[in-house]
């Protein structure tokens, strides 16, 4: 019988931040050089933000990406609220 280990999302991040492989280093650099500074400066990070800064994505594409992300969050929050309240 094969044993499976379950890892929480935060546990996975901790494992990756401790890892020393090349893929792990790329992830660590992205988190520490792009994501965390964005959260500190702007209060959040939108996937693809660095592409806007480098010109790899237009401002319109970036806004569309951010809007889709927010729509997903709203849907998740709505589902959670509906579980607790009758709306």
pLDDT confidence bin for 43, thresholds 50/70/90? confident
Which of 32, 34, 40 is closest to 13 using CA atoms? 32
Distance CA 67, CA 65 (A): 5
Give yes or no for residue 54 having a pLDDT over 80. Answer: yes
And the tokens for 11?
Answer: 């546990």
* Mean pLDDT on 17-29: 91
18 pLDDT band, cuts 50/70/90, is very high
CA-CA distance, 36 to 38, in Å (whole number)? 5
């Amino acid at each position: 019988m094969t044993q499976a280990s379950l890892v929480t999302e935060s546990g996975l991040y901790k494992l990756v931040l401790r890892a020393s492989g090349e893929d792990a280093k790329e992830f660590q650099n992205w988190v520490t050089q792009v994501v965390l500074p964005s959260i500190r400066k702007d209060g959040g990070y939108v996937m693809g933000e660095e592409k806007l800064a480098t010109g790899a994505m237009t401002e319109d594409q970036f806004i569309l990406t951010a809007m889709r992300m927010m729509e997903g969050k709203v849907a998740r929050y709505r589902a959670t609220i509906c579980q607790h309240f009758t709306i």
